[in-house]
């Protein structure tokens, strides 16, 4: 696989490997960048119909086609042309939670505040500025248009050409419009486009919009994929952020003040009109509970509790647990956290805890207690004390794994009518395992036991249609990869080239072959992602800074749009 192809693969896989900084950046980018959104242009019309978007206050198509909405350097975009960006952005934004099915609009409202049943110009997006959702989407549309034309002009000046496959897909779009029109009951593509984008839409202007965005995205994507770095670059980049690419395994138990308040008893309990009970405590009772929680935490944070097993035994022996039933006591234990990336530690523990965990002096078995507060200054309240046990730190310098597999699927099974889940009997699983063993035996008895021989066998025997043509090759596997755990566990064990085995997954049994260590470690893989994103962002910013956008007339955008209903 070429370096460029590897870069593309990593680009597709990097979501699972993201540091918290990357996740935040990606989240922000998804809300504003055409680079993300315009990849969906070829299917967005289907989405639009699905969402039921309707134009409640259309203006005449003639006015829309002659009114200049924005200028981007030498390009004058009419209201019709900008409306494509406006509507597509809205549709993409509103479909973020489509996975929730009939509850998608509820989750959209809950997490973003956007109500799909209320006109956009009647909903406030920013309470500080008074900006409405219509304003927000209009601004996003102009920025997306600016991005698209900036990249398009850059591509044209560089003599950039689409690949044959990309050009073929683009050529098919006009034909597909006619198919969509027929499917949704429109007389032709023009009527279909006007049903989605308003009376000014035409096939010609929409296809030009699609062409420009296809070229812009392809050009930007190729630039991203072409960014390459090596070991000296990685070592220089990590100098001032050595901890960022480490992972930590630790456990903690939280001695809460509230638990000790309840255990100590006292307080005044009152019922409201609905019968709900509320217990209040005096300041003296709260202070005593705090002292008890602190004492318990310090009593746990001793050298004798240097393993998780010992810590859990000491936790169960606390006085606050002495009256618990056996089945409830079994649930009392420290929280285990394995291989947590440095950037994700803040999701679990406090800043002081992170500082302690990431101290270079830490060694397995170190244990401490840390005060946990809410609020600041005089209003700060002590909530309790962490007992924090350090178990391991890894610098993630193990190479990514490249493996090949042959899948033998389970057959038979019983499907649950309610859940749709299929379960397999022990006999059915055993029969599948025997078929996998026979394939492995055939491989091991062959003239050669190398990758080429396994590739040939996979083409004949594998039932994984997605990878059999590549010999069942799965590359760049790391601890947080989105593969079943048994698959990852086998691949990331201490392996050498040529190792074989059989593992079970929910799909069946896999005959495994370890092809090689990747050229990158997991650490360098993450650094490469960050360096690539930084370099791309710097380049993109420079491209956009060289472009002038002037808003002329945005009134024709459908500001009182009701997305659904």
Tracing tokens 């009152």 back to the chain, one arrives at 270
Q: How far, CA to CA in Å, does 30 sit from each of 140, 398, 547?
A: 11, 32, 21
Tokens 């609009």 correspond to 105
Average pLDDT of the chain? 88
Among the residue ranges 19-33, 286-300, 358-372, 487-501, the one predicted with the least confidence is 19-33
**Which pLDDT score, from 0 to 100, does residue 430 have?**
97
Average the pLDDT over 268-290 and give the result. Answer: 89
Torsion angle, alpha carbons of 69, 31, 36, 47, to 10: -80
Model confidence at 57: pLDDT above 70: no
Judged by phi (left if over 0) then psi (alpha if -120 to 50, else beta), residue 529 lies in: alpha
Q: C-alpha 480: how far from its chain's center?
A: 12
* Best CA proximity match to 342, nearest among 39, 20, 7: 20
Give the residue carrying structure tokens 């010992």: 310
**How confident is the model over 101-126, as pLDDT tens digits?**
888 889 999 999 999 999 999 999 99
Cα 110 to Cα 113, 117, 133, 476, distances in angstroms: 6, 14, 15, 36
pLDDT in tens, 506-560: 999 999 999 999 999 999 999 999 999 999 999 999 999 999 999 888 887 888 8
Contacting residues for 162 by C-beta, under 8 A, at least 6 apart = 170, 214, 215, 218
* pLDDT digit string, tens, across residues 142-187: 999 999 999 999 999 999 999 999 999 999 998 899 999 999 899 9
Reported confidence tier of residue 61, pLDDT bands at 50, 70, 90: low
The string of pLDDT tens digits covering residues 170-182 is 999 988 999 999 9
Per-residue b or e along 259-275, where b marks 16 or more CB atoms closer than 10 Å to that residue's CB = bbbebeeeeeeeeeeee
Of residues 236 and 174, which shows the higher confidence score?
236
Give CA–CA dist 517/497, Å, rounded. Answer: 8
pLDDT band at 465 (very low <50, low <70, confident <90, very high): confident
Phi, psi of 297 (to 5 degrees): -65, -45
Listed by start position, the domains of the chain span 33-226, 247-394, 399-523
Q: Which two tokens stand for residue 337?
A: 């956290």
The CA radius of gyration of the chain, in Å to the nearest whole number, is 30
Three-point CA angle 330, 334, 337, nearest 5°: 125
| CA 92 – CA 82 distance, rounded (Å) | 16
pLDDT band (50, 70, 90) for residue 468: confident
Task: Check whether 439 has a pLDDT greater than 70.
Answer: yes
CATH class of 399-523: alpha beta
Q: Which residues contact 5 (CB under 8 A, 6 or more apart)?
A: none
| CA dist list (Å): 327 to 15, 189, 253 | 39, 66, 19
Res. 265 pLDDT band, cuts 50 70 90 = confident
**Interval 200-220 mean pLDDT:** 95
Could you tell me what percent of the chain has a pLDDT over 90?
71
Which run of H or E residues covers position 386?
strand 381-394
């Amino acid at each position: 696989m070429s370096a460029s192809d590897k870069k593309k693969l990593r680009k597709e896989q990097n979501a699972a490997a993201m540091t918290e900084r990357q996740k935040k950046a990606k989240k922000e980018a998804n809300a504003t960048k055409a680079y993300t959104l315009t990849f969906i242009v070829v299917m967005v019309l289907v989405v639009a119909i699905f969402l039921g978007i309707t134009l409640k206050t259309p203006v005449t198509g003639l006015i829309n086609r002659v009114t200049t909405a924005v200028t981007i350097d030498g390009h004058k975009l009419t209201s019709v042309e900008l409306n494509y960006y406006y509507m597509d952005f809205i549709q993409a934004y509103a479909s973020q939670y489509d996975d929730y099915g009939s509850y998608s609009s509820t989750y959209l409202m809950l997490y973003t505040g956007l109500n799909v049943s209320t006109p956009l110009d009647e909903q406030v997006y920013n309470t500080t500025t008074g900006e409405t959702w219509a304003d927000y989407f209009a601004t996003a549309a102009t920025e997306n248009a600016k991005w698209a034309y900036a990249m398009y002009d850059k591509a044209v000046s560089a003599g950039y050409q689409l690949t044959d496959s990309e050009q073929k897909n683009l050529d098919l779009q006009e034909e597909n419009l006619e198919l969509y029109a027929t499917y949704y009951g429109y007389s032709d593509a023009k009527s279909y486009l006007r049903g989605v984008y308003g009376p000014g839409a035409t096939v010609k202007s929409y296809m030009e919009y699609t062409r420009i965005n296809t070229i812009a995205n392809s050009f930007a994507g190729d630039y991203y994929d072409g960014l390459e770095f090596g070991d000296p670059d990685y070592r220089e980049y990590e100098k001032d952020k050595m901890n960022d690419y480490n992972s930590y395994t630790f456990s903690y138990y939280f001695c809460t003040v509230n638990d000790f308040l309840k255990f100590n008893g006292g307080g005044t309990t009152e019922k409201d009109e609905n019968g709900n009970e509320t217990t209040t405590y005096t300041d003296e009772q709260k202070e005593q509970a705090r002292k008890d929680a602190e004492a318990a935490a310090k009593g746990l944070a001793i050298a004798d509790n240097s393993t998780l097993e010992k810590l859990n035994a000491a936790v169960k022996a606390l006085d606050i647990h002495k009256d618990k039933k056996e089945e409830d006591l079994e649930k009392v234990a420290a929280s285990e956290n394995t291989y947590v990336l440095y950037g994700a530690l803040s999701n679990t523990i406090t800043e002081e805890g992170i500082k302690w965990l990431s101290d270079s002096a830490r060694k397995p078995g170190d244990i401490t207690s840390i005060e946990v507060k809410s609020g600041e200054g005089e209003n700060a309240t002590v909530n309790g004390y962490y007992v924090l046990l350090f178990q391991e730190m890894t610098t993630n310098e193990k190479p990514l794994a490249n493996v090949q597999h042959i899948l033998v699927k389970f057959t038979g099974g019983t499907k649950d009518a309610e859940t749709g889940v299929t379960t397999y009997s022990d006999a059915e699983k055993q029969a599948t395992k025997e078929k996998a063993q026979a394939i492995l035996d055939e491989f091991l008895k062959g003239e050669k036991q190398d990758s080429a021989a396994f590739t040939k066998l996979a083409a004949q025997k594998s039932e994984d249609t997605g990878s059999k043509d590549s010999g069942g090759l799965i590359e760049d596997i790391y601890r947080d990869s989105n593969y079943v755990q048994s698959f990852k566990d086998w691949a990331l064990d201490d392996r050498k080239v040529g190792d074989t085995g059989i593992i079970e997954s929910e799909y069946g049994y896999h005959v495994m072959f370890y092809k090689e260590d990747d050229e990158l470690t997991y650490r360098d893989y993450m650094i490469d992602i960050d360096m690539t994103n930084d370099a791309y962002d710097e380049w993109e910013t420079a491209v956009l800074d060289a472009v002038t956008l002037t808003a002329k007339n945005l009134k024709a955008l459908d500001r009182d749009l009701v997305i659904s209903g």
